[in-house]
Amino acid sequence: MISATHYVVLSLVLLSLGVIGVMLRRNFITVLLSLELIFNAVNLNLIAFSFRLGDLAGQVLAIFVITVAAAEAAIGLGLIIALVRLKDTVALDEVDEMRG
Amino acid sequence: MTYDFNLGWLLNLVCYLPLIGALLTMFFIKKENSAAVKWFATLITGLDFIIAIPLWLLYQPDGAEFQFATVKQWIPSVGVQYIFGVDGFAILLILLTTLLGFISVYSSFTAVTEREKEYYIFLLLLQTGMLGVFCSLDFILFYVFWEVMLVPMYFLIGVWGGPRKLYAAIKFFLYTLVGSVLMLVGILALYFFNGSGLAAVGLAGLGNALTFEVPVLYEIASQIPPELQFWVFLAFFVGFAIKVPMFPFHTWLPDAHVEAPTAGSVILAGVLLKMGTYGFIRFSLPLLPDATVKAVWWVGVLAVIAIIYGALVAMAQKDMKKLVAYSSVSHMGFVMIGMFALNQAGLKGSILQMINHGISTGALFLLVGIVYERRHNRMIAEYGGLAKVMPLYATFFMIITMSSIGLPTLNGFIGEFTILIGVFHHSWVWALFAATGIVLGAGYMLWLYQRVFFGEITNEKNKGLTDLNLREQWTLIPLIILAFWIGLYPKPFFRLMEPTVDRVLARVQVAMPEETAADYVAAIAAPTHHDETVEE
Amino acid sequence: MPLAEFVPFLPEIFLAAAGFALLLVGIPLRPHGTRVVSALAVTSLAITAVLVLLVGRPTEGAFTILGEMLVIDQMAVFVKLLVLAASAISILMAAGYLERSGYGGGEFCSLVLYATVGMFVMVSGANLASMYVGLELMALSVYVLVGYFKLEVKSNEGAVKYFVLGALSSGILLYGISLVYGTTGTLDLQSIHDRLAAVPDNNLALLLGIVLVAFGMLFKVAAVPFHVWTPDAYEGAPTPVTAFMSVAPKAAAFAMFLRLFAGAFAPEVDYWRVVLWVASAATMIYGNIAALTQDNVKRMLAYSSIAHAGYALMGLVAANVMGTWSVLLYMLVYAFMNLGAFGFVILLESRGYTGEAITDYAGLARSHPAAAALMLWFMLALAGIPPTAGFMGKLYLFAAAVNGGYVVLTLIAVVMSAVSLYYYFRIVVQMYLRDEEAARPAEMHRDRWVEAMIALCAVATLVVGIYPTPVVQWLSALQLM
Amino acid sequence: MDFIVSHFAQIVFYTLAVLTVAGGVGVIALRNPVHAALSLLWTFLMVAALFVLRHAEFLAAVQVLVYAGGIMVLFLFVIMLVNVRGLTPDTVYLSQLAPLAIVAGVLIGALLAVVFSLGVLAAGSHDATALQQVDGLVVGNTEAVGMVLYTKYLVPFEVVSVVLLVAMIGAIIFGRRDAALVRGAGEAER
Amino acid sequence: MKFYDLIWLVPLFPLLGAAFNGFVSNRRGLSKGVTHTVALLGSGLAWLWGWAAVIQWYLQEDIHHPYVVRVYEWITGGSVRILDGSLVDVTIDAAFQIDPLSAVMVGFVSFVGFLIHVYSVGYMHDESDRAYARYFSYLNLFMFSMLVLVLGSNLPVLFVGWEGVGLCSYLLIGFYFEKLWCASAGMKAFIVNRIGDFGFLLAIFAAFAVFGTVEYTDMFGAAAAHPEHYTTAATVIGLLLFVGAIGKSAQIPLYVWLPDAMAGPTPVSALIHAATMVTAGVYMVARCNIFYRISPTAMLVVAIIGGLTAVFSATIGLAQNDIKKVLAYSTVSQLGYMFLAAGVGAFIVAIFHVVTHAFFKACLFLGSGSVIHACGGEQDMRKMGGLRKYMPTTYWTFLAATIAIAGIVPFAGFFSKDEILAKAFAAGYGNLNDHGTVYALLWLLAVAGAFLTAFYMFRLVHMTFHGEFRGGEEAEHHLHESPRTMTLPLQILGVLSIVGGFIGFPGYLFGHPEWNKIEQFMEPILLPLGHGEHGAEHAQHVGLGLEFGLIVLSLAVAGFGIWLATRYYAGEKAFVMPRSLAERFPFAYKMLLNKYWVDELYDATVVSGTVGLARLLWDVDARVVDGAVNGTRHATVGSSFLSGIFDLRVVDGAVNLIAKIYDVASHQFRRLQVGFTQGYAMVMVFGAAVLLIVFLVSF
């Protein structure tokens, strides 16, 4: 019998992958992709719980999450465009003018 | 009967007059018109001193504990009130403050030549701050004034100070600030203990109304458990000891004194240092009797160290101001040791000694400032033989020197004598060590005098020095008159402080075993002591 | 649901509409009509304020609307008004600046308004879902605002960093929410509170969820170790934006923090308190000490705002009534003093980034005595010296902490606030004590609006410092849950 | 055979889970952004399938449409835009691998440690039907979700719409080329 | 009217004079005439009023009961709990007391003081007007203090005078402050005296602790009532008081200041450092005799110190060539005799010697003054000689005084000194307080001292007045007798040092004790002790024969001294013998010449010790207490502070240390802010991990 636990474990793995991706990839775009992984992990949780609780709130929240994720993707991509215009790069570690 | 609201407005006026003056100067007097600024400031401070005198005349020793009181709600939801009120002790300090305030303004006419407007504004603000400290009876109000006063002092040192002014100013500010914030924590602890209690030390409170009102807190002093008293005392101690300054916390003093402009030094030595001792007498002793009695030994030792150490270090100084600064460390040591003898003589002496120190050291700084103004040099080695060119100056300096080394018929003696009597009856060992301070005091002061005034005039630059002008004389004469007055007839001063002393001691006594005083001196006549007591 | 239920929702609706309208108005007259747009924006904010008062003032106690999504109570009203004030002040300060910069004001104003809507939802959210979307609305608007000077490398860089880290943190927050949802079975704050209160639960999953939510909130209030975005975002963002984001979102975030932790998760306090304790201490220490050696004023203020977040957290750690309202009071005080200081920076900023280096302040006491005096006042306030409001704010926070028994934390706080004096006074030193080496004191812009706002902040700081009674009484009356 | 029948759910789940994780690994492992994006697309689809297993049909649909349909296209578009400028960084990873591994390890360890205590989740009703009902009578999951979404969760729903608006504004601001603004013009002004 | 009710006028007159001269004449530079008129008025009125008051008091009151005049309450220090556990008010009156002791003191102090004022008019006449005014204001101030000292009715008031005279002596020694060595001498005097005062103050406190009062009458009354209770207390108090006396009266080991004090104008030396101030210590001991009588220990100490000083300084006197130095050391040794007297319980005799000594020593000093005056400031006796024919008056008066100090019957010195010797002998003979042997030894010392005194005094006379003038030609022309104002006091004092002794005529030798007026008169100051005799009462008389024997002995000794001096320093073989002695015992000679190197010793130990300590502590303060300076300084070099505040850190502090720590910490913290996004992400995740661990641990 598949319990919520299985889903949570799976989502944990996805979450970790996302976090690691965010921390590892130099490319802004792939960093964005990793962020999307994290949101998906969350959604998995929500769905699993909503099924387990027989409660729709989880699903609804998941919808909001998806939408917000879309919005964030839009902003992020906009930033990428601006960044490319300014510095001709998408490498995040070259965006380091301010420090200390 | 705690408060006597009669004439409360007078006290408020005394406290806020300088502030009003500062605002008026700020908004209505042109920066260019420096004469107007000076004279207006002089007028205000002089007026302030004059209206402060009635406080003394109208104070009833057998009346309410705090007179000329004002009690208003301020932030009722947390029990912060606006409470003004003074007893004899505070009145003494208020008079001292207003007098020195006037003198320091009057003495700065030629000493300060740039950014004069700001200078006098800061002086006035400073005076309100200091007066507020002595007037407030609500802890928060007290704390507010205590902090407010730092800012103008910071600028007085930092803008008009000597070469290392920035360093000295920030050092002064940080030092004092650290002390006072710790004090704030102590205050809060008391506040909550009186009310809801303190989870911190697992203490249930008394469940009284939450209040910062000092006289109310006096009531609960005896119920505060010792360990809480210890911690709060510690917090207060740091705050006040830094101001005094007690021995290990004294290092800000020389810098601040040396770098500050003359008036700044006068106020610093004359009034600011007294705030520390004021705090001890007003708060630490009566609020935390148990901790106080326990702390007596340590404070006593620190004070003795301060006395001897300060004197010796003063002896080694090459800079007049530094010398005077360290001498204050020594003198304030006397104040502390007298206070912690915890008997009437000691306490009275130490209060009187506060005034004396204000007068003598204030005057000394004025005097040093006078030659500094002429020569822009404070190095003792630069001088010598001044007695020839500046006889009057030499005379004044001699009188003040004598008052500072405690020559009878001058103020210093009365203070030290009374203190030492008190101390002797607390512990003759302390008295023994403290008394050496008198010898050393004579040492460094006379040596200073010798090097500055006697001998041939070796330094060409000193040949042309002019003697005191009329204004300078008049800045000094009041202090000298006071010095003689206290030296010859201190009774009025003693009488003024008596109620305070009795109340404070009554509040400390609860923690003191009977007979303590006697045991210390028993050593002297140990074999015969007992049967003697039997007889009497 | 009946239309009547929407009435309490009017302020948000109005703001959103106004934002859109401003967008449309802004497009034709950018960049010259900046002041007009700003004026309109401020008017709409004012109207919103009136609406908020109409909706919220008469109610005693809390009531929820629209399917328990939102709650209207005194806290919400207070924070909403505070946020409105902050936004209005920032917009007025921004107008001249944006004009000079050539970037128009239209999008700026509407974004500020949308951010405000988001904060409204945050502070009056009664349900994790609504709170989350509110948070995101605020966050997204601010990302854009930070990157608003899209041709400035710094601005863009700040936006990028803020965005990536923000997204990461909101992911973590969401994960926490999902765990809370899974363990308590609901998103509704009230029922969460009731369940936890009924059976104090030490289920690790739940606690982990709570802690992750705490992480998300700590990020929003810029607390160590989630502060990393702050200095760069603050330095990179256009100064008015910095002023805005250092105040309004922080206040809103703290309000939400309170609703969650002093409200919903309160029964579990003994479990999560330690996390906030550590975060608070670390934040105070780190913020203050790192600020000591900053030579860029904006950056220094950024660190100082981190430190202030640390002070405010003490109120949450104390987790008693006084703690709650003292946090809000502190947010109010902090808003005014910080906005005042930033207004000064705005006035000083001229060609390039000059006006941000601390040395540019040398000798200002000579050339602009009044301005210098005001700056001194704000510095004193930030350092918490009476009689400024800064002292009152700190006083209550410390009091709350001592009362809660967190003496060590309080000691750290007091020592650190003494330290903070040092770096605030570095500016004062430059202005007052360094006149001799002021070869050419930086000239300041004459901008009536900004000056007016600075004066306003100064007055507020003074009044609250001298007579905080009304505010304190209002605040100490409100309770959540 | 009957094993398959009796354990069908498990089999399906594990298969999907493995595939999802594989996609996730691909996202962070593949050098070429395009490939990464595609593997993310793959992950989305697998997740959608998992949704279906949990009776979230509507959500699965949204996942496919919004994510796979909308966002991925956007991504690929941008990637192309950037790629033509040949800007893909030559080195894919940042050097600081080791510490991160540790961190991730700590993190995951801590979280897993938690998860094993999940047995004590608040008791829930296991009837999936609740996810398809609107006050009692069974309708599809879509209707059910819609019902809740547009009644109880109306406020967040509206706010989310504003969020999208803001995103649009942001995208416009960042994306738009301004004739009025020359680079550094603001700087010159400031 | 009752003069003695207004006794406080006595000190007041000179005070007014001092104030006038100090603030008016000195400032305005009034003429010498005005100045010395005022000064003389001040001291003269004091003298007249003082004598009038004393005489009237003697006639109208019972001299057995001190007459106390309270002026006002001075110090009201609240209450303290004293030794016996009772609470006592610290109330100290400004009050004056007339009793035989103070009567005698006032009598001769005011009189001699006045004489010396007169003398000064002549001696100081070639000072500038301002200096003249200054001088006389100081002199008047001294009269005031001295009179307060002797008239005060309790220890603190006594202390007022005590310090006052100290101050005046400081000012007057340093009168020629342009000469730095004069000023230094003044400072030395003041500080050495301070050391004494230290003891005195403690004595006051101890007395208060024991008796709960410092009023003479009450204190002594109580002590006399129950002597046996107060033995310990009396020892402590007595010794502490004696420390004060040692300082003020220049006894071993604190005598060093007195010879230097000769830097002052000669009249000052005469008045302060011979006649009056230095005897204050004796006065105090006599005043507090009760303690010494109660405590044998204290008394013994007094005797020993006194005896040793008497001989010790006499030996130094042998080799000095500065005329005033010789007189100074003789003063020290005479003071030693006084303390010896006190030490054997003969307090009245001590005072008697004080009086006679005042006469002849003042005379000697004034005489030397007029000599120096004549020789144009020359003080070295080797450059004098044969002055007899130039200045007869000076010579004869000087000679009279010398014979007096040498103790030749019937000159003043004889009576007092011989009585001291007699008492000392009696003490040893009668085994006083079972310290007989010690006292006997002391007696021997005293006799030796008598011989030395006679010797060096006549050496002085011979070197100065006899033989040929050795000062060179042109100096010889200026030699002249001094003006009237100077010779008149000389004559008066000369006469007194001849006849002054008869007030203490040892009548009992002839069966007429009442002939000893002074003893009769002062008898009341020795309160009868309560039950339990402590010996040391009026020295028990040895047999008459022995007494006469002693007298003869002392006369013989003195005579021998004179003879030897004459043989060595007069006539054609003058100076031969001493030189040969000096050559034969060079070390002894050097030792005496250099005063046993005591000054050098003190410089090496006490002075440089203190100063060194001071310097050391200052370093400590600058470095350690104030922080690990150099460490921080070197560490801070290149610290990136823009603000000038920390550039200015030079030598300082704990504060700086902390500041430095913050500085370093700050830079470390800032390195967390690595600058690129993923770095921040790392920090966040790391931090999150830490927080999680904290959380899990605390869970």
Q: Tell me the per-residue pLDDT of A39-85, one tens digit each, with 9 for 90 and over.
A: 999 999 898 888 888 888 888 999 999 999 999 999 998 888 888 88
Q: Name the residue among A84, A35, A98, D95 with its Cα closest to residue C161.
A: A98
- A76/D contact by beta carbon, under 8 A: no
The stretch E303-313 carries a mean pLDDT of 89
Of C325-329, C384-388, C443-447, which range is least confident?
C443-447
In this complex, the residue of B73, B166, B185 whose CB is nearest that of residue C407 is: B185
- Nearest-Cα residue of chain A relative to residue E670: A100
Chain C with chain E: Cβ pairs closer than 8 A: 86
The stretch C348-361 carries a mean pLDDT of 70
Are C340 and C380 in contact, with CB atoms under 8 Å apart? no
Record the tokens describing residue B250, joined without a space. Answer: 């004294």
- D89/E contact by beta carbon, under 8 A: no
Specify which residues B197 forms β-bridges with. Answer: B204
Structure confidence at residue E297 (pLDDT) = 87
Q: How far apart are CA B305 and CA C477, in angstroms?
A: 53
Is E674 in contact with A99 (Cβ distance < 8 A)?
yes
- D132/A contact by beta carbon, under 8 A: no
Which other chains touch chain E, taking contact as 3+ CB pairs less than 8 Å apart? Answer: A, B, C, D
Show residues of chain C in contact with E699, CB under 8 Å.
202, 204, 207, 271
In this complex, the residue of C402, C415, C469 whose CB is nearest that of residue B192 is: C402
Q: Residue A60, SS3?
A: helix
Q: Name the residue among C432, E553, E306, A66 with its Cα closest to residue D47.
A: A66
Distances in Å between the alpha carbon of E182 and those of E317, E328, E593?
21, 16, 21
pLDDT over 70 at B512, yes or no: yes
| Interval D32-87: pLDDT, tens | 888 888 899 899 999 998 888 888 888 888 888 888 788 888 888 888 777 655 55
| Interval B6-52: pLDDT, tens | 888 999 999 999 999 999 998 888 888 888 999 999 999 999 999 99
Non-local (6+) Cβ contacts of E557 within 8 A are E447, E450, E451, E454
- Nearest-Cα residue of chain D relative to residue E691: D107
Chain A with chain C: Cβ pairs closer than 8 A: 113
pLDDT over 70 at E228, yes or no: yes
Chain D contact probe: residue of E682, E691, E693, E694 with most D CBs at under 10 A: E682
Structure confidence at residue B481 (pLDDT) = 93
pLDDT over 70 at C311, yes or no: yes
| Interval D85-133: pLDDT, tens | 555 555 656 655 556 666 666 666 666 666 655 555 545 556 667 677 7
Structure confidence at residue B22 (pLDDT) = 93
- A86/C contact by beta carbon, under 8 A: yes
Task: Looking at the complex, report in whole angstroms how far the Cα of residue E158 sits from the nearest Cα belonging to chain C.
Answer: 53
Are C55 and C11 in contact, with CB atoms under 8 Å apart? yes
Are B385 and B457 in contact, with CB atoms under 8 Å apart? yes
Q: Which residue type occupies E160?
A: V
Which other chains touch chain D, taking contact as 3+ CB pairs less than 8 Å apart? Answer: A, C, E
Record the tokens describing residue D188, joined without a space. Answer: 């010159």
Looking at residue D70, the DSSP 8-state letter turns out to be I
Specify which residues C357 forms β-bridges with. Answer: C296
Is E689 in contact with D113 (Cβ distance < 8 A)?
no
Task: Looking at the complex, report in whole angstroms how far the Cα of residue A31 sits from the nearest Cα belonging to chain D.
Answer: 8
Whole-complex ipTM: 0.83
- Nearest-Cα residue of chain A relative to residue E678: A23
Judged by phi (left if over 0) then psi (alpha if -120 to 50, else beta), residue B27 lies in: alpha
Is B443 in contact with E191 (Cβ distance < 8 A)?
yes
pLDDT over 70 at C352, yes or no: no
Structure confidence at residue E541 (pLDDT) = 60
Which range is most confident: A29-38, B129-138, E434-443?
B129-138
D:101-120 residues touching chain A, CB 8 A cutoff: 103-104, 107-108, 111-112, 115, 118-119
- B443/E contact by beta carbon, under 8 A: yes
Is E197 in contact with B345 (Cβ distance < 8 A)?
no
Is D94 in contact with E678 (Cβ distance < 8 A)?
yes
Task: Looking at the complex, report in whole angstroms how far the Cα of residue A23 sits from the nearest Cα belonging to chain E.
Answer: 5
Of B132-141, B317-326, E636-645, which range is least confident?
E636-645
Task: Looking at the complex, report in whole angstroms how far the Cα of residue E689 sits from the nearest Cα belonging to chain C.
Answer: 10
Task: Looking at the complex, report in whole angstroms how far the Cα of residue E673 sits from the nearest Cα belonging to chain A.
Answer: 5
Record the tokens describing residue B206, joined without a space. Answer: 């008394």
Show residues of chain C in contact with E683, CB under 8 Å.
225, 228
Is C225 in contact with E670 (Cβ distance < 8 A)?
no
B369-372: long-range pairs with CB below 8 Å, 24+:
B369/B107, B369/B111, B369/B261, B369/B262, B369/B263, B369/B265, B369/B266, B370/B468, B370/B472, B371/B320, B371/B465, B372/B262, B372/B321
Q: How far apart are CA B30 and CA B48, in angstroms?
A: 23
The stretch E664-684 carries a mean pLDDT of 78
Chain B with chain E: Cβ pairs closer than 8 A: 226
Q: How many CA atoms lie within 13 A of B448 on its CB side?
A: 32
- B430/E contact by beta carbon, under 8 A: no
Q: Residue C200, SS3?
A: coil
What is the band of E482 on the pLDDT scale with cuts at 50, 70, 90? confident
Structure confidence at residue B163 (pLDDT) = 80
Show residues of chain B in contact with E208, CB under 8 Å.
421, 424
- E672/D contact by beta carbon, under 8 A: no
Q: Which residue type occupies C283?
A: T
- B166/E contact by beta carbon, under 8 A: yes
Burial class (CB in 10 A: 0-12, 13-18, 19+), D14: middle
Show residues of chain C in contact with D126, CB under 8 Å.
none
Structure confidence at residue B357 (pLDDT) = 93
In this complex, the residue of E80, E164, E179 whose CB is nearest that of residue B425 is: E80
Structure confidence at residue E536 (pLDDT) = 44
- With a pLDDT cut of 70, the percent of chain E lying above it is 92
pLDDT over 90 at C120, yes or no: yes
In this complex, the residue of E663, E666, E688 whose CB is nearest that of residue C215 is: E688
Q: How far apart are CA B430 and CA E353, in angstroms?
A: 39
Q: How far apart are CA E600 and CA E666, in angstroms?
A: 57
pLDDT over 80 at E621, yes or no: no
Between C244 and B519, name the one with better pLDDT: C244
pLDDT over 70 at C438, yes or no: no
Structure confidence at residue D186 (pLDDT) = 43
C:146-175 residues touching chain D, CB 8 A cutoff: 147-152
Structure confidence at residue C334 (pLDDT) = 94
Q: How many CA atoms lie within 13 A of A80 on its CB side?
A: 30
Structure confidence at residue D105 (pLDDT) = 64
Between A88 and E352, name the one with better pLDDT: E352
The stretch E175-198 carries a mean pLDDT of 85
